[in-house]
A and B are shown apart, each in its own frame.
Chain A
Amino acid sequence: MTMKSRVLMSAAVFALASASPALAQTEIQWWHALTGANNDVVVKLAEDFNASQKDYKVVPVYKGSYPDTLNAGIAAFRAGQAPHILQVFEVGTGTMMSAKGAIKPVHQLMKDAGEKFDPKAYLPAITGYYSTAKGEMLSMPFNSSSMVMWYNKDAFRKAGLNPDAPPKTWPEVFEAGKKLKAAGWDKCGFTNAWAPWANIEQFGAWHNIPLSTKVNGMDGFDAVMNFNQSPLFLKHWTNLAELQKDKTYDYSGRTNNGEGRFTSGECPIMLTSSGFFGNVRANAKFDWANAAMPYYPEAAGAPQNSIIGGASLWVMGGKKPDEYKGVAKFFTFLSDVDRQVKLHTESGYLPITKAAYEKVKASGFYKDKPYLETPILELNNKAPTDNSKGLRYGSLVQIRDIWSEELEAALNGQKSPKAALDAAVERGNQMLRQFERTASR
């Protein structure tokens, strides 16, 4: 056999081998950004779905961090090679929904595929973040979390604080921070990860203060930020800047890089995602618990409700109807009550349907593990208002960086809290105006 024909032969064999399963099954590409135990959850879900039926095969592919996955999806779409399902973090929601031709809204997908789909079955606090103002679901919530206050019970005992009555309000947190500092935690009384999420996004929702006009951007891309007009925002930023001076409060960065400061015991109080649970369980060598985020008692109606973080599954546009049918079936499979119960109790992600939450509650699961219910209680604390449904801005990745920069400037004394808040809003608005131009056409 000549070299050439041998190459041709092996190419033909390879083509046949790789083509034959595709004839029987429609392959559905699922790009995601989860690592470690969460990656196992994704793989297991795909395996279970593939075993449950024969027509479709979901193939999960890990694509790096959340921003990397979003960029990979964007680049693939531009090259005409988009996956069917793309996991996008909540910050990317504005970017995704504005790209009308690039995505297929979930409510449309389910209707076209003839799948049974009741938007009311889902927890509104979660799906609201990913729906249009009219309540049409755009993407399928997958891993959701909210922000809670984690605290070190051992440290509380040493500082003479009651470990079973964590501080409820901000003034109480400041007092606790001072006592903890006096008891030896002199580098960090309390802190937070995800600085902009904690001190702007969640802060606004929890105190029922708007971040901008147009229902925090959910009603249109012409929203104008105005949270610098809120005296409570100014008060909070001023307090943090004041307490940063003697490290009663100590800044821990823009993302969750600083979360290790809690598990190592360095910071006894930390506001961060409820998704921190797995890490705390594995690494904290002390008695811990979590509680709802603190609030300012003078704010009327506070606490309102918290908003979610995490990621959802977007369906990309331009695929074949048969493939969409498979995606729809997979989403129905995901929403199944028992599956949601299992996902929630094992991974700590929030359940996305009401039935799943009720079932877990009825089983008495939260009696032993109240820390898994805290974020759900926060989300459902009150019916969401226009200020606490969530937020939807394009370029939110950059806006969060801007917000972080200004908060950092206030904390290190470069700017007064007032000047920093004003700059955060002004620069945020510049980003919004630029995005509006690319999105509205």
Chain B
Amino acid sequence: MQKNAYFKGLTIPFLLLLPQLVITALFFYWPASQAVWQSFLLEDAFGTSTEFVWFENYQTLFSDPGYLRAFINTIVFSTAVCVLSLSIALLLAVMADRQLRGGEIYKTLLIWPYAVAPAVAGVLWIFMFDPSLGMLGRGLLSLGIGWNPRLNGHDAMLLVILAATWKQISYNFLFFLAGLQAIPKSVIEAAVIDGARPMRRFWTIVFPLLSPTTFFLLVVNIVYVFFDTFGIIDTVTGGGPSGATETLVYKVFADGKGGSNLGGSAAQSVVLLIMVIGLTAVQFRFIERKVSY
């Protein structure tokens, strides 16, 4: 039996691929190439004067101590959000993956936060933890805890990490739950008969069998913390205090949109793009080997 379909000539395969190619080119390659081009320009906001400056925007960028700080913030922020949101979601999924009264209600409620836009999620958390407006923020203060995200960088970082984690848990939960339900019951039952306790069953059977899902979520979560979290940071802290919560993507947004510094902002986007491509490649190259499909 012939497995591969084949076409005479290139016309038909090309035509069949065309819609996908057009979409990729239009919505990915074209904007990306624009960003690369823009990163070599020095331009005023209105585009009335433009100068080609080679790598000057990049030089300025790497000599800016604020950029190094944004790098460190990004590492702290993304590690914390990924680890927290993946582990909490896994815990919740394991708990939800059994016969529970009202289990469907828990599952539905846990999925809801995913429908909340990042900026709105940020506002929700500010309403809870603002030291003047927030119920919980005021509660912390009345307990004598010096909670002040307006001025204390660690408090502010903690707050954006919590908000960004909360937002992502639902998504991870959904995939973990589906992953858990796909694990054959027979394997687990065999382990039970062999006398394996729940913890041992989890680490030796469930967790390895869940690894394709975990790997997929890791990639998605890294993309999420790198690119989708600036709305949360913008509404919760605005990058402050004193730049303590300014991550790479927030800086792209703040310099480009707030500061009309298109060249510098584009150079940052290019750096960010290269980083995420590199990170994803590393993940596929090294971590995927440990994944058993």
Contacts and interface: CB of A to CB of B under 8 A. Distances in A.
Given A264-B132, A401-B258, A74 B153 contact: no
Given A253-B150, A254-B238, A264-B132, A95 B49 contact: no
B151 interface: yes
Instruction: Name A's interface SS.
Output: helix
Given A71-B257, A266-B132, A395-B261, A412 B45 contact: no
B151 A102 contact: no
Given A95-B45, A266-B132, A401 B254 contact: yes
Interface stretch (A8-16, A279-287, A433-441): A433-441
Interface stretch (B25-33, B90-98, B175-183, B239-247): B239-247
Given A395-B261, A412-B151, A412-B153, A77 B240 contact: no
A408 B60 CA distance: 24
Contacts of B153: 412, 414
B181 to A, nearest CB: 44
Given A78-B47, A251-B241, A408-B241, 18 more contacts: A71-B257, A77-B46, A99-B44, A99-B48, A187-B131, A253-B150, A258-B132, A260-B133, A261-B132, A264-B132, A404-B240, A405-B242, A411-B151, A414-B153, A434-B60, A438-B51, A441-B49, A441-B51
Q: How many residues of A sit at the interface, in one of the four size bands?
A: 35 or more
9 contacts: A99-B46, A102-B46, A187-B141, A255-B238, A258-B132, A264-B132, A395-B260, A398-B255, A405-B243
A397 interface: yes
A438 B43 contact: yes
A406 interface: yes
B81 interface: no
A437 B133 CA distance: 44
B259 interface: yes
A260 B259 contact: no
Contacts of B48: 99-102
Contacts of A99: 44-46, 48
Contact of A252 (B51, B150, B240, B243): B150
B10 to A, nearest CB: 35
A286 to B, nearest CB: 16
B18 to A, nearest CB: 26
Given A398-B255, A412-B241, A438-B44, A260 B151 contact: no
A131 to B, nearest CB: 21
Contacts of A401: 239, 254, 258-259
B163 interface: no
Contacts of B42: 434, 437-438
- Which of B150, B238, B240, B261 has the most C-beta atoms of chain A within 10 angstroms of its own C-beta? B150
Contacts of B258: 67, 397-398, 401
A429 interface: no
B19 to A, nearest CB: 25
B146 to A, nearest CB: 10
A260 B257 contact: no
A357 to B, nearest CB: 34
B159 to A, nearest CB: 14
A426 B47 CA distance: 27
Interface string A46-77: 00000000000000000000010001001001
A409 interface: yes
A412 B254 contact: no
A244 B258 CA distance: 29
Interface in B225-259: 238-243, 254-255, 257-259
A264 B130 CA distance: 13
A77 B47 CA distance: 9
B259 A397 contact: yes
B108 interface: no
Interface string B123-136: 00000000111000
B151 A439 contact: no
B152 interface: yes
Interface in A386-441: 395, 397-398, 401, 404-406, 408-409, 411-412, 414, 434, 437-439, 441
Nearest to B239: A401
A169 interface: no
Contacts of B133: 260, 264
B261 A409 contact: no
Nearest to A395: B259
Nearest to A77: B46
Nearest to A423: B65
